[in-house]
Amino acid sequence: MTVMALALKSLKNRRVTALLTIFSIAVSVALLLGVEKIRVEAKNSFTSTVSGTDLVVGARSSSLNLLLYSVFHIGNATNNLTWETYQDLSSDPAVAWAVPIALGDSHKGYRVVGTSDAIFQHFRYGNKQLLSFVEGKPFNKLYDAVLGSTVAQELGYIIGQDVVLSHGVESRSLQNHDDKPFRVSGILAPTGTPMDRAIMISLAGIEALHIDWVNGAPPIAAFSVSAGKAEAMNLLPTSVTAYFVGLKSRIAAFRYQRKVNEFPQESLTAILPGVALGELWQLVGSAEKALLAVSVMVVIAGLMGMLTTILTSLNERRREMAILRSVGARPWHIFALMITESLVYALIGTLLGFVLMYGLLFAVQPILQSNLGLHLNITLPGQFEAVLAGIIVISATILGAIPAWRAYRNSLADGLTVRL
């Protein structure tokens, strides 16, 4: 009988203890690999949210705040910039394109983004991919709305369905724009970015919603403007929240940024998205490293549990070892048996850990997508995961050498001695 077969039979006789040890290793491995997977995919999701955009311009604020509300739709803007300022700055000779956005409304917790049709021509995400449609088309009428994939999926909306927008960004608003319903004209393909959770309408549509509002207050019934009347009115925007800029040459980025930051008419801020994303990731880097450190400690605890289990069972197995010696097993056979048991624990525990990790990733993927707009790209294990698994197996084997050496040193006479 080979050492491996003997080790498997020995573990079978101690199946309850063996299964608990394997499960503890599996949970620790799943936690370590899962944290690393989520960390990498979260970083990729953050960095792929916007690509091909050279600058983001908004009212004077911190770079992180501007990035969060304009790109990730988190938080609120400190102020708006006037339409005249937008036109002035976007007409700079260095600007190839500009996409304005107006925020402040929502629908059942999903942000409404007022913008121009230029967003479908110039805004890019991921590997410089343009926004695409699974159904319908961009808005071309005043009351058309384009839904992100998550919005359409979660709310069950289809093309042609009416959507009533709300004032403010609360999930339950008491001020609905019931008099001016929008109609779904298109549904975007999934992007894995906050665009999946957005409802896009035209800037004119934003103006139509608030044409009869005064200082942020809803209109009195006698002075309200109907949807039909609004269509006949001049709906030129008065302000926008921010705008994305694409330059003809990236060399001009710093010059244009300085021009915006020193703009005399309004207090503005221009940020480089890549730099701001780096700052954002550094901000959460400490928590990320702490979580990774905890995961490593959990793996170490799992391996130490394996070592404790094997060491604890040594005294109970002294007679087993003595019998093996009496039937011809040499000391190195005993050593190999104990090492093999540790290897089996590590291999099965690591494989089960991978299974648990992928099961959990598939379970949390839709939750993270719908609640945080974070898309986890679940792929096959790569080189890093293979290296981690190898380190865990090797570490378990090295730790297994401790009880193996003790068993190796037990003599045949000691194994047969009955202790009172």
Residue given tokens 């599996």 in the structure block: 26
Q: Give the closest residue to 114 by CA, choosing from 103, 124, 123.
A: 103
Residue located via tokens 């705040």:
65
pLDDT grade for 371, boundaries at 50, 70 and 90: low
| Spatial contact of 194 and 373, defined as CB atoms under 8 Å apart | yes
Helix, strand or coil, per DSSP, at residue 340: helix
| Residues contacting 140, CB < 8 A, separation 6+ | 117, 185
By DSSP bridging, strand 55-59 and strand 268-271 are: antiparallel
3 pLDDT exceeds 80? no
Give the residue-averaged pLDDT of 103-109: 90
Task: Locate all alpha helices (DSSP H) within 128-212, ordered by sequence.
Answer: 149-155, 203-209
Token pair listed for 200: 């896009």
The alpha-carbon radius of gyration of the chain (Å, integer) is 31
pLDDT at 329: 63
pLDDT of the residue at 416:
47
For the whole prediction, is pTM greater than 0.75? no
pLDDT tens readout for residues 226-249: 888 888 888 889 899 999 999 999
Torsion sign, CA atoms 371, 280, 114, 207: positive
pLDDT reading at 56 higher than 90? yes
Report in angstroms the alpha-carbon separations of 305 from 20, 310, 340, 402. 10, 9, 17, 13
Phi, psi of 378 (to 5 degrees): -85, 115
